[in-house]
Structure 1
């Protein structure tokens, strides 16, 4: 981090950015699991090349054409229903193209039924397949009938495949990465009969930071947000402030004022060596103070505090905040002794802590209790 700061002061921003990315990889190396796995059964297509035609505002649909699930093979669909599928595709919007993976759970015979969807944003160096394997989100989503969408950052946009959460052009509505993610979510929702009131976004680390940005910029698209080991929207606007925020949770730029609070669930390890836990606290405070008339002393708002332990003995403290109507709209899970890794994840993916509380299951519980309401 000190090397990056020196590079920033000397004007070598490219070198500084590479140093940040290297620090992210090295600091979280201890949290890595085994070699990432991808779902079996269907052959993978050749990668799309640079000469492939650009598709504007649309999907390139043929990818993994045969249905197969998130485990060893396809599950039997309900009588008269559709088979689950694990597809690869790409999407272009405003001149930007993202590859993505899409998990479609087995459908029911009720063709009119609309399903919820979770958009999952991976961390630095990860792929969509790796993130799916590590979080086990597909396995949990299958039983609940939830569609799961995994956009994948390009190495062209970021050499280490980090979402560019600390760049101003990717922190606003109508441009950059948030715009592409929101447009992709809308497109997939329209294509696959997703309930527009039940679209959610979550992510890890840089993906968690981008999930917070996307939710803040597009409350008309996303009904709730999940942030795991991430940073609050607006905490950094350049390399220097990104370093400060990651190191201590106190960047040179204050988090931006929020016109409204979107329901959010936050997970963060209090021993995270990569993204300081103070970032989760700042995020919670910014959400408590959101809205046109935030409550006095919002940062000290009372919460229900529940202390618990996972099945494998990892301790956590869960703080639950309610709005004026008494509805739970914010949860903060402080993971005691945990580092920079997805809590309760599988060792088949990277950056996971299998011993922790199941963050994927808790996010799904929280999301499904929070359909988007008219504002």
Structure 2
């Protein structure tokens, strides 16, 4: 085959897609090239998407993206989305790590993203578009992967007592991955955050509760409170909206207000009942309540409301209730599973909240 410019461009596209969207999209790009079809998204276009998303929260601290655009350098080609692994006494977990081209050479924020059941790192990255936002703001993003050997549906085991405690089970693995990245990359330890969807959201609630010295804030989407269940039957009851009782209820209340949290939940969620969202934020008191504001990132077609909360120690939280939304990541990309493109942009709002809440102590 003669390697014309179109074919070479398609190969560059495949490389960019492999790093930013996953192997499925990269394979499709290669197949288009072999057919001589150049109608797909080019690598340059993918890079342009990565550097032109609207700003949220604090602006990026470096001008690497603007320099790249002016010089014609593909930003995504200089970024990395690598597969790594971490092991300790609790086992081994792979994780994907996105290292942006922007803001190199100075301490950067780190966001640890925990996928939901049946998902994996590439699926979650595509659906949340967090890598695109991370490129804009110079953040690293880690995606620990729950294998099928640990749970048949690849759920994080948030309902098992052995996976709910500091330095044991899955929390120790997630914390170990976080510490490894802080050690091996130039990460600002005051700007390390954790977020998750569904089972991953429930595990994120456990992580912020058990490791307040490691994570500055947490984001929980369609998740559940820490330690609201102790086995599969109690997990199913909690997902249906049953109130935790006894020891579990006291634990949830006792640890809920340690760090800032932002919580999203659809009020038509039939997988995890919306009452869990408010339970995550027990210990916070309502400070303000209003309808969602359109911030300009995306025009959301779903109505939603926001409660801004605080504690006596001025720890802040936000609760976003999305009206008519099911069990899906609000404002997500349809290329990922369990996404709702019609919703407000949860990823942008989480990142805005995170960057506004560095760890002070």
Classify the TM-score, shorter chain.
0.7 to 0.9
What residue number does 2:261 align with? Answer: 264
- Runs of 4+ that moved beyond 4 A: 41-45, 72-82
Q: Which residue does 1:157 correspond to in 2?
A: 150
Partner of 2:357 in structure 1?
370
TM-score, with length taken from structure 2: 0.77
Matched, 1:317 2:292: no
Counterpart for residue 306 of structure 1: 290
Q: Which structure 2 residues correspond to residues 202-221 of structure 1 after superposition, within 5 A?
A: 202-221=195-214
SS of equivalent to 2:290: strand
Q: Whose helix fraction is larger, Structure 1's or Structure 2's? A: 2
The 5 A counterparts of 1:1-375 are 40-41=17-18, 71=46, 78=67, 83-108=78-103, 111=105, 113-252=106-245, 253-254=248-249, 256=251, 257-258=254-255, 260-284=257-281, 286-288=282-284, 301-308=285-292, 311-324=299-312, 329-374=316-361
Q: Which SS does the other structure have where 1:40 is aligned?
A: helix
Shift in Å at residue 124 of structure 1?
A: 0.1
Greater CA drift, 185-194 or 199-208: 185-194
Q: Which residue of 2 aligns with 1:56?
A: none
For residues 60-115 of structure 1, what are the alpha-carbon distances to aligned partners after superposition, in whole Å with 9 as ceiling and x for unaligned?
xxxxxxxx999469988657999211111111122411111111111446x2x100
Q: Normalization by structure 1: what TM-score?
A: 0.74
State the match for 1:29 in structure 2: none
Change (3 A) 1:95 1:164: closer
**Would you say how many aligned residue pairs link Structure 1 and Structure 2?**
300
SS in 2 for 1:165: coil
Q: 1:312 to 1:332 in 2, by over 3 A?
A: closer
Unpaired segments ≥5 residues, structure 2: 1-13, 24-42, 52-63
Q: What SS does the corresponding residue of 1:303 show, helix, strand or coil?
A: strand
In structure 1, runs of 5+ residues without a counterpart are 1-36, 46-67, 289-300
Change (3 A) 1:269 1:278: same
The CA distance in 1 between the partners of 2:244 and 2:15, in whole Å, is 37
